[in-house]
């Protein structure tokens, strides 16, 4: 079974631009979560989608948004990029919520200059 895939793997953007990251979950998984990982803050939860509905949202500004499609694939968008948005963005999928463990993709490394 193929794992979680994320595209692109690396991205360099300029401050003020916007970016869209994509995540394809493991086949049969209906829940997708997004995390931001930085050396200083660790892993911070962005949002979680289940069956195309956002079920949970972390404490990030409205510049961060996401969506999930009917095939469970998910995208996240960051508008008006800031230098502090430079991070590794991780996507994780699970069969459902609660007891199910999450399976992580390799991440998208975003650098904002």
Partner 1 sequence: AQSVAQPEDQVNVAEGNPLTVKCTYSVSGNPYLFWYVQYPNRGLQFLLKYITGDNLVKGSYGFEAEFNKSQTSFHLKKPSALVSDSALYFCAVRPAYSGAGSYQLTFGKGTKLSVIP
- Return residues touching partner 1 (CB under 8 A): 4, 33, 35, 42-43, 45, 48, 55-56, 58, 90, 92, 97-99, 101-107
Tell the residue number behind the tokens 């930085």, with chain if given: 38
For partner 1, the closer of residues 22 and 103 by Cβ is 103
Nearest approach, Cβ of residue 97 and partner 1 (Å): 7
d(Cα 25, Cα 105) in Å, to the nearest integer? 8
C-beta of 59 vs 70, nearer to partner 1: 59
Residue that is written with structure tokens 């968008």 in the block: 77
* Min CB(36)–partner 1 separation in Å: 11
Alpha-carbon separation of residue 52 from 64, 75, 94 (angstroms): 17, 11, 14
DSSP 8-state code for residue 85: G
Q: In terms of CB distance, is 16 or 96 closer to partner 1?
A: 96
């Amino acid at each position: 079974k193929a794992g979680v895939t994320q595209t692109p793997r690396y991205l360099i953007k300029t401050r003020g631009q916007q970016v869209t990251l994509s995540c394809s979950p493991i086949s049969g998984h209906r829940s997708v979560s997004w995390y931001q990982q930085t050396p200083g803050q660790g892993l911070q939860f962005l949002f979680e989608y289940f069956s195309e509905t956002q079920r949970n949202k972390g404490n990030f500004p409205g510049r961060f948004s996401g969506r999930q499609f009917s095939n469970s694939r998910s995208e996240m968008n960051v508008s008006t990029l800031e230098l502090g948005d430079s991070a590794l963005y991780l996507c994780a999928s699970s069969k459902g919520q609660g007891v199910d463990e999450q399976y992580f993709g390799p991440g998208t490394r975003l650098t904002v200059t």
